[in-house]
Amino acid sequence: MDFTLSEEQTALQETARRYARNELPDIARQVEQDDEPPGRDLVREFAKMGFLGINLDAENGGAGLSHFDAVLVLEEIAKISSAIAFPVFESCFGPVLAIQHFAPEDLKRRIIPQVCSGEMIVAISMSEPDAGSALTDLKTSAKIDGDRIIINGQKRWCSGAGHADAYLVYCKMSDEPGAKGIGAVLVEKDAPGFTFGAREHHMGFRGIPSADMYFDNVEVSLSNMVVPAGGFRKLMEAFDLERCGNTTMSLAIGQSAFDYVRDYVQERHQFGKPLVDFQAVQMSLAEMKMKLDASRLLLYRAVVNAEAGLPSINDSSVAKCFANEMVRDVTGKAMQLMGGYGYSGAYPIEQKMRDGWGWGIAGGAIDIQKTNIAAALVGRRFSQRSGS
């Protein structure tokens, strides 16, 4: 097994790193302060730089590279900020992957080129007030009526709500119980009857808007059908790749917190010597480094095994779960090692801790991932429902 990056990959990573370090910190500070997403001009600039749709098909405007290449770019940008990296995350690991893998050709041709050029952001809308971990309890309905689909219901916690141009909305599409009745339809923001509630303000994820979304007899064309009823398994397969994007975000936050604090403990002196001279500080640094490297290897395994297809649920859940726990631990240790400066808003670690925490809830809570891992281990699903 060769862990060396190719010349092209090294160049891609270097380009993203240089761009991120030179161009993005000021924008990231503003986004964090205002809690508003970066402007569309930045998203178009990402497109020009080749950072959008890296792993999407070249025939639809993507770069046609691998998921691994997309990870290399996303990590560098997410080291600066999750919110700034969010358009890259959405275009390489978001719901557009479900469109690429499962939507009819004409829908792919209509949507994917716009995503790759930065003209369109597509967000994912699964969760509802009474369907979070128990996603198959979702109630939002989509009924086919001739060549139209009529959607009714309410969604919650969608990252990008109100800001994204289109939404992959998971809906109940038949009377079949649970997963069997679920499919997904693409709803454009301007569809009549589609409205947004008040902005949520999270502990972290500032600059990534979230709001309830209401569907009141929203009509879209039948050609917006991405996956019909019975396709829940396909949606989850595409979502396994989204989990690799989530893992990359966690890794980037953890790695950048570590890089910062590794320098800090060498510069800051107490008791007449650098903090790094204390053995407890050395142990902390070593533990952070071990977990970061393990996260990186699990992520690389998941995307390299998937090649251009979709990763296995086992590889993606193990990687996500480990990285979600790692980033909480690493940012917590980084904060402790910086004492009062770590807790201060004037330094970057407190934001990294707030942002890092959220990734272990988004994309399926950590304990749900652990249940998935155990299910894959023994080759059967465990019902979470009472009385079964």
Identify the residue among 49, 107, 361, 375 touching ligand FAD (CB under 6 A): 361
Decide: 140 and 173 in contact? Cβ < 8 Å.
no
Identify the residue among 5, 179, 365, 373 touching ligand FAD (CB under 6 A): 365
- List all residues 6 or more positions away from 353 whose beta carbon is below 8 Å from its beta carbon: 204, 257, 328, 331, 332, 334, 335
Closer of 107 and 365 to ligand FAD (Cβ): 365
Shortest reach from residue 370's CB to ligand FAD, in Å: 8
- List all residues 6 or more positions away from 344 whose beta carbon is below 8 Å from its beta carbon: 350
Across the strands, what pairs with 225? 185
126 counts as binding ligand FAD under rule CB under 6 A: yes
Decide: 78 and 89 in contact? Cβ < 8 Å.
yes
Closer of 184 and 261 to ligand FAD (Cβ): 184
Instruction: Say how far apart CA 56 and CA 245 lie, in whole Å.
Output: 14
Identify the residue among 117, 127, 141, 174 touching ligand FAD (CB under 6 A): 127
Decide: 293 and 216 in contact? Cβ < 8 Å.
no
Closer of 123 and 318 to ligand FAD (Cβ): 123
Instruction: Say how far apart CA 229 and CA 158 lie, in whole Å.
Output: 21
Say whether 300 sits in a helix, a strand or coil: helix
CA distances from 64 to 69, 308, 378 (A): 10, 9, 35
To which residue do tokens 């800090």 refer?
A: 264
Closer of 93 and 260 to ligand FAD (Cβ): 93
158 counts as binding ligand FAD under rule CB under 6 A: yes
Q: Which amino acid is at 342?
A: G
Shortest reach from residue 388's CB to ligand FAD, in Å: 12
Q: Which one of the spans 27-35, 231-239, 259-267, 366-374 is the region binding ligand FAD (CB under 6 A)?
A: 366-374
# residues near ligand FAD by CB under 6 A: 21
Bridge pairing between strands 182-188 and 194-199: unpaired
Max Cα separation, the chain?
78
367 counts as binding ligand FAD under rule CB under 6 A: yes
Shortest reach from residue 332's CB to ligand FAD, in Å: 18
Decide: 66 and 94 in contact? Cβ < 8 Å.
no
Closer of 66 and 314 to ligand FAD (Cβ): 314
364 counts as binding ligand FAD under rule CB under 6 A: yes
Q: Which one of the spans 114-122, 222-230, 334-342, 362-370 is the region binding ligand FAD (CB under 6 A)?
A: 362-370
Bridge pairing between strands 269-270 and 273-274: antiparallel
Q: What would the x/- binding string for ligand FAD be over residues 133 to 152, using CB under 6 A?
A: x-------------------
Residue numbers 166-205 binding ligand FAD by CB under 6 A: 202, 205
384 counts as binding ligand FAD under rule CB under 6 A: yes
Chain residues in the site for ligand FAD (CB under 6 A): 123-127, 132-133, 157-159, 202, 205, 358, 361-362, 364-365, 367-368, 371, 384
